Structure 1
Amino acid sequence: MKWTVLLCLVSSLGLGWAVPLEGLEKLTLDFFPNNSMLLTTTLSTNFIVNIPKCVSPSKFSPAKVRIAIAQLPDATSPTGVTDTEQIGNLRKTPQATVYFAGEFNSVSCRVARDLLVMDMDDSQYELITVIGFQVGAEFCRQTKGPFCNQLLKPSTFYRVNFFLLDDKSEIRGHTDWSPAIQTRNVTNYESADVVFEGRAGGMIVITILVSVGGFVLVVALIVAVALSNKK
């Protein structure tokens, strides 16, 4: 009987049932060590977070990293997530405030140590460097795939967490939630755009006409002065 219950439990986990976070291996890696202007850039609808160069859990071999996003009411609020079932998918639940935004392959620490970095300046080659993960980069209705990395809300706080999957696509570990990251407030810019909506084209045409007219007047004046001097 006990073995039957155990098999049912294992089967339920494989079907996507809730996995308590306390049962996963927690990694203490700092995923946000880079303080460069590029990686700390925060816009009104997205921001960039640093990603690990390699991951080395003690209980399993990571194959993929899945990123989770949590929207918060303020900077001090916790996410309140205790198991993976509370992390939604925007494809199924568009209004979810805690959701998986994407997934990418994990780089083993051994491979990372063997990687070579070199500067290349040749028109025949294109050098691609991964600098981070852009949170908030998609319109869900315009993209396909298991996850959606939807545009974020202006002036809103978010936290990020990385979940690690093994070669069987099972979640086995995770990092802690990041410090709260606030997107910029662009309300003033939007109101300014509305005020000048429908006038920008006319103003551009008027500016061009005034500039051309002024140039013609200057040329005419120069010609008149030159002719008067000849007389």
Structure 2
Amino acid sequence: MKWIVLLCLVESLGSGWAVPLEGLEKFTVDFFPNNSMLLAATLSTNFLVNVPKCLSSSKFSPSKVRIAVAQLPDATASTGVTKTEDIQNLRKTPQATVYFAGEFKSVSCRAGRELVVMDIDNSQYELITVLGFQVGAEFCRETKGPFCNQALKPATFYRVNFFILDDKSEIRGHTDWSPAIQTRSVKNYDSADEMYGGRAGGMIVITILVSVGGFVLVIALIAAVALSNKK
């Protein structure tokens, strides 16, 4: 009987859902860089947090980032989370106050320095820049998938935490919980939070369409910077 219990414990640890937070590697992330009003923009049912530009570890290869959200009674309250199984899934527990809101691929620090993405089409190109993760971007009844990034409550405090997964989708690291951020209080819900409407999945991007002339200007600027660095 003891062997069965031990086997179950090992299995739960391997799955990444019952790991004590103190046993995970700690990563440092600036959730609101330079107190940016844009990235820390707070609306009544959602807000933005910065996403890690790159993740590096000597213990494992970071593959995905899973974001956890905690609803708080006030700005000084802690989340009370000591292990990963304390974080619920809204698909199974709709009323959970600490839950996983979504998941996205991580970028290694080396790839982050070298990666440039452009889509050139019909004499134009799209320059797409990830602006941040929109916490509170979905209505669970209208979406599918393992997690739900549900719309937040107005005038309520929240914290977020990034959990880092390896290439086997096991949780191996996490950040500290972010500073508490409060959503705005609104009276007219029909006119609220139109700024980032229609951005499914949580990721907010900026898309800039530039003509051929603009593209040539960008190339010239890159060449000038490269030449100046050689000097």
TM class, shorter-length: 0.7 to 0.9
State the SS of the aligned residue for 1:172: strand
Q: Which runs of 4+ in 1 moved over 2 A?
A: 1-10, 12-17, 28-32, 34-37, 115-118, 120-127, 189-193
Do the aligned residues in 2 keep the contact of 1:48 with 1:134 (CA within 8 Å)?
yes
Q: Choose 1 or 2 for highest CA Rg.
A: 1
Distance 2:151 2:123 in 1: 34
Residues 1:171 and 2:171 aligned together: yes
Query: C-alpha separation between the residues in 2 aligned to 1:192 and 1:130?
Result: 26
Give the residue type in structure 2 aligned to 1:53. K
Question: Structure 2 length normalisation: TM-score?
Answer: 0.74
Aligned to 1:57: 57
Following superposition, the deviation at residue 142 of structure 1 comes to 0.4
1:42-62 deviations in Å (ceiling 9; x for gaps): 100000000110011231110
- Deviations 1:68-121 (Å, cap 9, x if unpaired)? 000000000000000111100000000000000000000000001112488x89
> CA–CA distance in 2 between the matches of 1:17 and 1:85?
5
Aligned-residue offset at 1:28: 2.6
RMSD: 2.8
Answer 1 or 2: which has greater helix percent. 1
More strand by share: 2
Tell me the CA shift for residue 143 of structure 1: 0.3
> Which shifted more, 87-96 or 49-58?
49-58
Distance 2:145 2:101 in 1: 11
* Separation of aligned partners in 2, 1:29 and 1:41: 18
Distance 1:191 1:133 in 2: 23
Select between 29-38 and 52-61 the one with higher mean Cα deviation: 29-38
- Structure 2 matches for 1:22-171, cutoff 5 A? 22-116=22-116, 124-171=124-171
Matched residues, number: 192
Structure 1 residue ranges without an equivalent (≥5): 194-231
Report deviation, 1:30.
Answer: 2.4
Cα shift at 1:190: 5.1
